[in-house]
Amino acid sequence: MKILFIYNPNSGDESGKEFVGEVEDYLKKYFEEVILRETKEAGDGTRFAQETKDIDAIGVYGGDGSVNEVLLGMHKTSSRAKLLILPGGTGNLLAKKLGIDDDKEAALRSFDFKRTKKIDLGKVNDKIFSLFASIGAVPEAIHEVSSEEKSKFGGLAYIKKSIEKLASSEEYKLDVKSDGGNYSGPVDHLIVGLTNKIGKLEFTQENEEMNSGKANLFIMTSDSVRDRLEVLKDSLSGEVEEGESIVHYTVKEVEINSMDGEEVALDIDGDKGPNLPVKIEILKEAVEVYLPSEVEDD
């Protein structure tokens, strides 16, 4: 078997180059051929995944953005290769959801390449996301955090920037159409999530799996401090959809437009995505991922 391993040398604590030698030695125990490719600029992960032919698996060491670049390349070529994810970013949200260890060395050694699971992906215009697409002050804060801040402060950099954004944020006027329902009016935050939780925040107990072919669409319609705190409280108990200021649909397709012509950017998995208008489509079981040997497939 042959595996293409794509790594971002600047991921997380910027130790990618030192780690890759260890990765190569480990992968050679399971694969006949290991091809290493180092990303140097945005889009390299997509290009490498598209260019490399006749491979059985693709591995990626990087954050959620690096993973999504590779997934886009796989989608464009209808690749049937299985995907290995090693956490190298600040959030590593998809890796966490799949039960992959935060420590990169421990994560590497947890794979025996026998267990896999097919999961959904989201497509928004010409981009791919693996967990969520969102609009609001918190997503804006996430993609404004610099690489230097990520390396120095880790997850605290996101919290600091989010607090700053929330203090001065304004609501949006959006028109949202989906196969689950429609909404037009003021929006404080909007999330299209392929899973019921992001990190430690559980939004709902509905649509929990990542292979249903559907996503949870949450629209927070109020920007008051009281309502924001209420949503935070509900997220700790997995009952966000029960809130008075929340509109919730289960969807396969979503179209989002700005009603007042303001420029509004969508965030995809913590990185800045396309500006509105956007069309989102859920791709059922679009990729097969490797699971750690001790994680049970749901």
Active site residue ranges: 271
- Cβ within 8 Å of residue 62, ≥6 positions away: 6, 7, 8, 11, 16, 39, 45, 88, 89
DSSP-derived secondary structure for 202-216: E-BSSS-SS-SS-EE
The C-alpha atoms of residue 244 and residue 231 are separated, in whole angstroms, by: 9
Interaxial angle between packed helices 44-51 and 64-76, expressed in degrees from 0 to 180 and rounded to the nearest 10: 40
Backbone phi and psi for residue 100, each to the nearest 5 degrees, phi listed first: -85, 135
The four Cα atoms 40, 275, 137, 69 give a dihedral, to 10 degrees, of -30
What distance lies between CA 49 and its chain's CA centroid? Answer: 18
